[in-house]
Structure formats: structure tokens, C-alpha cells
């Protein structure tokens, strides 16, 4: 254990030493990447922010680095939604990508395909949850009967309140995400390919 802590500390010290020795190009690149992330975050968080206008102000030689960082940030916000409300944030990220890749005619088809995939995932997640809940409730009879024996009166137990339910649901949901993950990654990677064109 002592070696692991020391090696982690050594790694941190090496990184700190590198910061002081970063070349001008590395510092410039880091600054441009931060700007790309900042612009994407501002677009996601501010209703009236004009992303295209902000990107137009970036000098030509700096634009590829800024664009890649902005695309990274937007793509990281395209995740499996927990519910319909989460889809609004994802749609905002997709809209940002549509703006960045405005000159690519197929970009709207790509974002529509991603949205369709995520909505399908959300629908399947709901169905799976309901099926799992019904299945789990059928097992609840035994637990409720045991509680009735113990306390002398009927007790209604909600499946969601039982840790075993939560654990099993997390595993099921994880397997569902695995089924969709490669397709989502494939679609998101198309944006990076378009950056190179």
C-alpha cells in the first residue's frame, strides 16, 4: 500500500513539474481546448448564446483545436437518459453539433439517428423496469407474509424500497446500456470523422 501511495505522489509531482516546463505550444493548445470547452458549456447553459457567432471569432489556425474541444464537450453530454426530462439536455447538445457541422448535409440525419436510438433505449428501459418490478412484486408476497407473521398485521412493501431490488435493477440497466453503447459510440465517432474533413 505504501508503494502505491508513494508512486501516486510521484506521478502528481511529475505532472506538477511538467506544468512549469510546458512548451509555449502546449500552453497555447491547452488554452484553446479550454476555450472550446467553455464555448460548448456556455451554449449548453445559456439560452441566448450564439455558438456560431462565437466560433466565427476564432482565428483560422486555432479553430481546429477549439472545434475538437467543443465537439468533445457536446458529445460527452450525449448520454443514456434516465427519463424524458434528461432528453432536453441531450437535444441541446445535438443542436450544438448541428450548428458546428452546418456545412455537412447529413448532420441532421445523424443527430436524428442518435435521438431515435436514445428514445428507443428510454422506451426499452421503461418496459424492462415495469417487467422487472412485476416479477419482483410476485416475490414480495413471501416477504409480506413473513412480516405479517412477525407483526400480526398486513404490511404492504414497495419493491423499490428493498436494496435487493435496486441492486438487481442496476445490473439489468447496465446490461441494457451495454447493448446500446457500441451503436451510440459509433454514431458519436462520426462527428470526429467529420472534423477531419
Q: Helices 163-195 and 107-151 meet at what angle, rounded to 10?
A: 170
pLDDT, tens only, 161-171: 778 889 999 99
Question: What's the CA gap between 70 and 138, in Å, rounded?
Answer: 49
Share of the chain above pLDDT 70, in %: 85
pLDDT tier, 144 (very low <50, low <70, confident <90, very high otherwise): low
d(CA 27, CA 195): 22
For residue 175, what pLDDT is reported? 95
Name, in order, each residue with C-beta under 8 angstroms of 181's C-beta and a sequence gap of 6 or more: none
Name the pTM for this structure.
0.79
Could you report the per-residue pLDDT of 19-41, keeping only the tens digit for each?
666 678 888 899 999 999 999 99
Structure confidence by residue, pLDDT tens digits, 63-79: 999 999 999 999 999 99
- Count helices and strands (H / E) in the chain: 7, 0
Domain regions of the chain by residue span: 23-76, 100-197
- For residues 172 and 52, give the distance between their C-alpha atoms in angstroms, rounded to a whole number: 41
Q: Which of 58-72, 109-123, 138-152, 174-188 has the lowest mean pLDDT?
A: 138-152
Cα 23 to Cα 31: distance, rounded to the nearest angstrom: 12
Q: How far apart are CA 51 and CA 42, in angstroms?
A: 8
Q: How far apart are CA 129 and CA 26, in angstroms?
A: 48
> How many angstroms separate the CA atoms of 72 and 112, rounded?
19
In the chain, % of residues over pLDDT 90:
62
Amino acid at each position: 500500500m505504501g508503494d502505491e501511495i508513494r508512486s501516486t505522489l510521484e506521478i502528481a509531482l511529475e505532472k506538477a513539474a511538467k506544468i512549469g516546463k510546458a512548451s509555449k505550444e502546449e500552453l497555447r493548445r491547452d488554452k484553446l481546448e479550454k476555450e472550446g470547452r467553455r464555448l460548448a458549456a456556455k451554449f449548453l447553459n445559456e439560452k441566448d448564446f450564439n455558438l456560431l457567432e462565437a466560433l466565427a471569432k476564432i482565428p483560422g489556425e486555432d479553430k481546429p483545436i477549439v472545434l475538437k474541444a467543443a465537439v468533445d464537450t457536446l458529445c460527452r453530454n450525449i448520454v443514456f437518459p434516465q427519463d424524458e426530462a434528461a432528453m432536453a439536455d441531450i437535444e441541446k447538445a445535438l443542436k450544438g453539433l448541428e450548428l458546428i457541422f452546418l456545412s455537412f448535409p447529413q448532420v441532421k440525419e445523424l443527430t436524428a439517428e442518435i435521438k431515435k436510438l436514445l428514445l428507443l433505449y428510454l422506451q426499452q428501459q421503461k418496459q424492462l423496469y415495469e417487467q422487472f418490478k412485476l416479477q419482483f412484486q410476485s416475490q414480495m408476497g413471501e416477504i409480506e407474509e413473513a412480516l405479517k407473521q412477525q407483526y400480526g398485521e398486513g404490511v404492504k412493501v414497495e419493491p423499490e424500497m428493498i436494496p435487493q431490488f435496486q441492486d438487481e435493477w442496476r445490473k439489468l440497466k447496465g446490461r441494457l446500456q451495454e447493448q446500446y453503447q457500441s451503436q451510440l459510440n459509433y454514431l458519436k465517432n462520426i462527428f470526429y470523422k467529420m472534423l477531419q474533413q
